[in-house]
Amino acid sequence: MLLSSLSPQAALLEGLVQIALQAGKRALEIYHGDFTVMKKDDDSPVTQADREAEAIILQGLKKLQPGVAVIAEEEYAKTKKGYNTDSFFLVDPIDGTQEFVNKRDEFTVNIALIKKAYPILGVIYAPAINRLYVGDVLAKTAWAADTTEDFQIENRNSIQIREAGKKWDVMTSFSHNNPATEAYLKQLPIENRIKAGSSLKLCLLAEGKADIYPRLSPTHEWDTAAGHAILLAAGGNVIDETGENLTYGKPGYRNPGFIAYGSEQPPLPVEK
């Protein structure tokens, strides 16, 4: 696709897609080889894939959007350097490092563009399952596609949330469910629980394969931003535990607990 034939916004999004594909390709090479699991200062796992994928993304963003600030997980872990700006990228080079380490294929490369505290573009690539998700909030368009062995895009289709029924299918985590989330789930009319790793839970909501995903424990903004953009573009939303829309650029780039949903905003957690 010739970027010169696209609108500036579409060209930017296509550029983000290509960067995510490149980073995912390198991550997959490492995933299928031997790699060492290291620990960061907060005791969370990190691998060579996190660092090399992030380097590819940072280099790509510097060329694509020179001068736009980038908050990337591994760089921020080392420098704690933030930016006071209305426009910045949030990057999680490997979301679901725990899945990566445990050889579960549901890890993703996440890139999002934030403007005035809200995500407006999001790209999520899951290289081990050959799946790509993209959202443009301003254009109100979201799509998913498969990827080939040589990292080309095929079978591209628009995605959108589904209408919720009387009982809901809920996305839950392989690794991060906690007592607060479990207590909240007891408030809801649950039909099925669907487990998934990483930000794919937000993508499956956007794709109309579930109705709600609550996560009532802290995360970082790079964990949610790309999936949030895709879900918004597909017609859904993400709120915090008080019912306010989840925003970005907060101190330390940390999120409170959140609830992502499709067509029907769920009740808020009952305070104990």
Question: What residues are designated binding site for substrate?
Answer: 73, 94-97, 223
Q: Tell me how many helices (H) and strands (E) the chain has.
A: 7, 16
Edge-to-edge strand order for the sheet containing 153-158?
A: 69-72, 87-95, 108-115, 118-126, 131-136, 141-147, 153-158
- Cα separation, 108 vs 200, in Å, equals 8
Q: Identify residue 171 by its one-letter amino acid code.
A: M
| C-beta neighbour count of 90 within 10 angstroms | 29
- Cα separation, 3 vs 19, in Å, equals 14
What tokens were used for 232?
């918004």
HSE-up of residue 245 (Cα within 13 Å, Cβ side):
13
| Known binding residues for Mg(2+) | 73, 92, 94-95, 223
- Cα separation, 267 vs 161, in Å, equals 18
What tokens were used for 137?
């909030």
What tokens were used for 190?
């649950």
- Cα separation, 167 vs 67, in Å, equals 47
